[in-house]
Structure 1
Amino acid sequence: MESKNHQRGVQLFELGRFQEAITYLTQAVSESVHNYASKYYLALCFFNIQDYDKSSKVLDELLHETPNEGNLFFLKAQIASRRENIYHALQLVNKSIELDPYQADYFGFKGALLMDKKKFEQALHFVNEGLQLDPKNTACLNIRVRLLTKLNRKEEANETVEHILYDNAEDDYAHANVGWVSLENGDTEKALHHFKQALQLNPNMQYAHEGMATALKSKNFLYKWYLKYAFWMSKQSSQNQWIFIIGLYVAYRVGIKLLRASDLTYLVIPLVIVYLIFVLGGWIMESLSNTILLADSYGKYLLTDKEKYSGYAFGGLTLAGILGVVAFFITGNQLFMLLGFTFFCALLPLPGSFLKESKKAQLTGLFYGIAMLCVGIFGTLFTNDVMLVGGIVLGMMVVYTWIFNFIS
């Protein structure tokens, strides 16, 4: 007979009150140390509050007692995925499938992991296997839509979307997922409609919040094209991404030489500006779009605190940079140009630091940006060479792009 503590813990778990459920489930485990069900729900509770260390510890105890339970390996795979260890997550979900090959969710999750590795065809194969086991499995259907969109099989994707919404008209995740697919296909209005539906069903759904914010940002001309570029790049393998970036740089260098050889040197500066916007746009576009949303009477409520800080930092640095350049043209004092240049260079590390996932990346971007500002503002106290100080600031900006790639 199940204990009252276990029953109450499960009730609280189903209500989403995970922290309270942990108290009761812990007591249930203390009553019977071999209580599999209570331990499993306890692991789920820790997983849902993102305490992955405690969840893993409980799962390891369960695996020691019952080493052939596929659902335990499945939960460990999800923890590995949350920790961005995709290779380990794949090993664990493969073990789940080996132990229990009739669970559609396992195949859907494996498809999602392979999609993250940009192995779209292989991922689609496993998702389809999951749908053979359960044709109405929501997870498999949602992942299938995203995969078909990545593979540019839009007609099949639309059919799957209709299938999802027909069977899951009140499913918040289904609406949010259709919203993201619509956004990737360039249909902003349809995306907004489905994100709105998702938020009506679940006002706290972060996936839908992010989608709604992104859809509103895409109404801005610059962000719209950046989003198209970001979606396109997300479909490319890491190798192809590097080939594209290197090819772009080679084309830029060849373009510079051709313009100089053709006495069209006046076009060199515009080409440099276009190249820098294209290359560095990905570093600043999110922060720029957050600044734009801050000025929107409705859009600002979709931003998280971190996104607001990013928007304020970007807006403040941009305004300071413009004022510095204007002051230079009015007074002719090169110090103002140096200040304006420094503020513009700081747009790379500072605003984006608030958006980084890891604490290490956040602190690196924040302190590096502050260091750049200190060099630009106080550098002339140690030397009268304004160009030297400006060169150091520019060099710091370039070096940061390499540091960021390393810590990422």
Structure 2
Amino acid sequence: MKNLHIQLLMSQSRFAEAEPLIRQELEKDIADAGLLCLLSISLSRQNKTKGAMEAAREAVRLEPESDQAHFALALALSERKDLRGALASAKEALRLDPDDVQNYALNAQILTEMMKHSAAIKMAEQGLQIDPENETCRFYRSVLLGRQGRQLEADEQSLELLADEPDDETSHCARGWVLIHSGDGLGAEQHFIEALRIDPNHEDARDGLAEALKIQNPLVGLIYKGLSLIGRTSIWAVVIGVIVAGQVARFLRSQDDPAIQMTGVILNVVFYLFLTLILIAPALADLTLFASSRGRLAMTALQKHGVRWWIVPLLIGCGHFLWWSVFGGRLGPLQSMGWCAIAALIHETYQYPQSWVRKRMLGVATVLLVTMLVTEYSNAVILRPMRIEMIPDSLLSNAKTIPAKETIADLQTRLETYIKTRSYLVVYPALAVLLIGCLRDNIADWFVRRSPDAE
């Protein structure tokens, strides 16, 4: 009877209530692999991923041929952001029981998180061949069709799901995501609000509502459409395009014709603006949410708290960019993107509920902040005087008496010293900050995989 009660709680997503009951049953039989699987799943759903993984590994040890044990382990690993390990376990669960549609659904979910959309759609479609009514497979198929630009198919699938389950939050989320990918932010907003009415704690609906409000802002919507287009483009095409654009801007600026030079300057500003917007797009989108009362409803308390911390480096970065756009200079874009990288990393920090992860991410951000402050100090206190003293008065006054070769050699020595000092004090540190900021997702995932469960 108690097992039936546990199953009922699990089916109703009441995982916090199911956990103590499962533990009570495990006290009677610690080697019950089925109960360990249930414990692992309930812990995963509560974001207690370390305990979930331990329970799932024990279940696999006790019953290595149990697809449910591998399913539980895959779920725990995916929540812990170990997607490769999760996919391996999910595939093993599918091999052990190819007739269980939930195994296909989990594979589709993990492949989606790995951005392998074609493989995820194929997995969802295979699951639908077994159970055409499976909600999870239908959800992922409709959403992924929308991401791939197959809008007619996505509309058909999501509308069918909504017609079959009009009072289900997942159906409204599926329809909302499809509308987002088609650019209909207002329609998507209505569906996500309905999903939140049905389940006020539905995280996917909250994330979807945030995205719907973002794309209704013209600037942010344009940025997201561009990012979506880039996401469907080969990474090599994007890299080649960035390199070519940078070289074209440099070539135009080197020409003698002032009109061509100005064209090169404008192209150079647009080029760095594009790179900066890619870097800060998520933070910029959250800023538009924070600026409106409706938008703040779609943000978690942590996200709203984080705004006051990452807005400062973002404003500093924007200030550097505007100053460079008007007055020029070599270090402007690098310093601007360095500060924006810090803002992006702090913004990423407040997307995670685990305090253990946030503390370590903030530690990384503190190191980067100190590094950028050192570059600012070095540029103002060390490099600026070196630039002023590059050609001292004594050298100018003796220009007629000092041989030309000696003058040029002295200037060359001063210039080489300046460039070397600038590289070590500003360029290399700022590049390191930018690189770490661009890898913020990977850094956060690394910490998530090693985080202990919340007490």
Aligned to 1:385: 385
Aligned to 1:302: 298
Aligned to 1:249: 243
Aligned to 2:376: 376
2:275 aligned with 1:279: yes
Q: What's the CA shift string for 1:290-316, capped at 9, x where partnerless? A: 233222122123223443344334543
Q: Distance in 2 between matches of 1:184 and 1:53?
A: 34
Which is higher, the Rg of structure 1 or of structure 2? 2
Contact 1:93 1:110 in 2 (8 A): yes
Q: Distance in 1 between matches of 2:317 and 2:121?
A: 48
Aligned to 1:398: 431
Q: Distance in 1 between matches of 2:171 and 2:376?
A: 49
| Partner of residue 67 from structure 2, selected from 58, 70, 84 | 70
Q: Distance in 2 between matches of 1:138 and 1:153?
A: 20
| Percentage of identical aligned residues | 22
**Bigger shift: residues 382-391 or 115-124:** 382-391
Q: Distance in 2 between matches of 1:323 and 1:127?
A: 47
Aligned to 1:226: 223
Aligned to 2:21: 24
Q: Distance in 1 between matches of 2:116 and 2:333?
A: 45
Q: What's the CA shift string for 1:187-231, capped at 9, x where partnerless? A: 111111111111111111121112111221222222112111222
Shift of 1:181: 1.9
Gap regions ≥5 residues in structure 1? 333-337
Residue 348 of structure 1 aligns to a residue in which SS? helix
- Residue 373 of structure 1 aligns with an amino acid whose one-letter code is L
Structure 1 residues 2-13: aligned runs within 5 Å: 2=1, 13=10
Aligned to 1:335: none
Query: What count of residue pairs does the alignment treat as equivalent?
Result: 394
Q: Distance in 2 between matches of 1:326 and 1:126?
A: 48
Aligned to 2:308: 312
Shift of 1:144: 0.9
Structure 1 residues 4-403: aligned runs within 5 Å: 13=10, 16-236=13-233, 240-258=234-252, 260-261=254-255, 263=257, 264-317=260-313, 345-356=338-349, 359=358, 360-377=360-377, 380=380, 385=385, 392-393=425-426, 395-403=428-436
TM-score, with length taken from structure 1: 0.83
| 1:320–1:368 distance in 2 versus 1, CA, 3 Å | closer
| 1:275–1:74 distance in 2 versus 1, CA, 3 Å | same
Contact 2:245 2:271 in 1 (8 A): no
**Bigger shift: residues 107-116 or 11-20:** 11-20
Shift of 1:132: 1.2
Q: Distance in 2 between matches of 1:142 and 1:405?
A: 31
Q: Distance in 1 between matches of 2:318 and 2:252?
A: 32
TM-score, with length taken from structure 2: 0.75
**Higher relative contact order, structure no. (Cα contacts within 8 Å, ≥ 6 residues apart):** 2
Contact 2:345 2:365 in 1 (8 A): yes
Q: Distance in 2 between matches of 1:168 and 1:182?
A: 18
| 1:270–1:171 distance in 2 versus 1, CA, 3 Å | same
Q: Distance in 2 between matches of 1:281 and 1:76?
A: 38
Q: Distance in 1 between matches of 2:293 and 2:380?
A: 42
Contact 2:249 2:268 in 1 (8 A): no
Gap regions ≥5 residues in structure 2? 388-417, 443-455
Contact 1:80 1:88 in 2 (8 A): yes
